[in-house]
């Protein structure tokens, strides 16, 4: 039986929601090992002068505790 833990991470990108999610996983992987999955809980964006200037995600990252 595996023991799994879930953490919540907020991340952003000026490119896309996909890139923001990738940033969240890359940053979490610096201190958390054995990442199994990522669940995108919320997406939002900032708008400046009629254009999207910042993509934001709130993700839940699941990892195995060994």
Structural domains for the chain: 3-65 (3.30.1660.10)
Q: Is the separation of the CB atoms in 56 and 12 below 8 Å? A: yes
Pairing, β 35-48 against β 3-13 = unpaired
In terms of pTM, does the model score above 0.85? Answer: yes
Look at residue 30 in the predicted model and tell me its pLDDT: 97
Look at residues 15, 14, 41, 13 and name the one whose alpha carbon lies nearest to residue 27.
13
Q: What is the pLDDT of residues 2-47, one digit of tens each?
A: 999 999 999 999 999 999 999 999 999 999 999 999 999 999 999 9
Look at residue 1 in the predicted model and tell me its pLDDT: 86
**pLDDT band for position 59 (cuts 50, 70, 90):** very high
Cβ atoms within 10 A of the Cβ of 57, count? 25
């Amino acid at each position: 039986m595996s023991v799994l833990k879930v953490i919540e991470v907020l991340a952003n990108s000026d490119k896309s929601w996909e890139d923001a999610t990738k940033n969240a996983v890359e940053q979490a992987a610096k201190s958390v090992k054995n990442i199994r999955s990522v669940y995108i809980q919320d997406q939002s964006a900032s708008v400046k002068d009629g254009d999207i200037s910042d993509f934001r995600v709130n993700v839940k990252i699941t990892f195995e505790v060994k």
